[in-house]
Amino acid sequence: MNIILLGPPGAGKGTQAQRLQTDLGMIQLSTGDMLRAAVKSGSALGQQAKGIMEAGKLVPDELMVSLIEDRIAQPDCAKGFILDGFPRTEAQAVALDKMLAKTGKKLDEVIEMEVDEKALTERIVGRFTCAKCGTGYHDKFKRPKVDGVCDVCGSKEFTRRKDDNAETMKTRMAAYRAQTEPLLPYYRAKGVLKKVDGMAAMDEVYRQIRAVLARA
Ligand code: ADP
Ligand code: ADP
Ligand code: ZN
């Protein structure tokens, strides 16, 4: 099964995608994570993306489309993938349709995660991640079981994203509204859009997503 998790920054896409990957073996394709890896490695893509990401704006469509096209073509994605952070513009959505059609794949579900803007900012400013295995945490909503130690890999090193601040969040939300929200009617018209309550607790959101997938 191939799905998209669609929602504003901080909606919980990464959190839910990690769980689906662990439980169902689907591959999480987070364009944000891929870009942050590119920035860290200093590749040409990373050099182009760095300033744009720090400002909270969107990286150009052509770069994103070729990044995803190469990734989806890799053999592990045959197990099914979860797009987390892509597509973010109509041009990306159209390009995705084309690349799937070309490789005989299809999109099974697009799951919209709806969350109030105030809650989003609180989620974003409290977000941190294990530096070693990438597991996501939150100062208030998902602390590690032992303070300062990753539940999954035992690492004591965590990172916070430079763009996870209230100021950049405003630009990211504006980009979401102007460029990504129009994808909701795009997918509704195709009959693949399902909504879950992103304001619910993480376990409940997960339960709702699994229910959608079970009916697919
Ligand atoms: P969040 O999960 O908080 O919504 P991401 O990690 O998905 O944020 O993305 C971080 C940044 O990476 C975005 O603000 C944007 O600059 C860039 N980015 C990620 N995915 C895309 C995409 N599909 N198109 C354009 N830019 C992207
Ligand atoms: P996204 O990938 O959509 O930007 P994340 O999955 O990274 O969002 O979640 C943003 C932050 O909010 C993380 O710190 C995460 O632990 C926390 N979070 C995720 N889902 C929920 C939820 N349902 N309730 C409260 N906090 C949540
Ligand atoms: Zn870890």
Encoded amino acid at 100, one letter:
L
* Residue 76 to residue 21: CA distance in whole angstroms: 12
Residue 83 DSSP class: E
203 CA to middle of ligand 3, Å?
A: 20
142, 143, 161, 188: which one is catalytic? 161
Q: Decide: 74 and 103 in contact? Cβ < 8 Å.
A: no
Average pLDDT over residues 112-121: 96
pLDDT at 35 over 90: yes
41 C-beta neighbours (distance < 10 Å), count: 10
13 belongs to the catalytic site: yes
39 CB neighbour count, 10 Å cutoff? 19
Query: What's residue 59's pLDDT?
Result: 98
Q: Taking a C-beta distance cutoff of 8 angstroms, is the pair 54, 162 a contact? A: yes
Ligand 2 center to 117 CA (angstroms): 13
State residue 216's pLDDT score.
Answer: 84
User: pLDDT tens across 48-60, in order?
Assistant: 999 999 999 999 9
pTM of the predicted model, to two decimals? 0.97
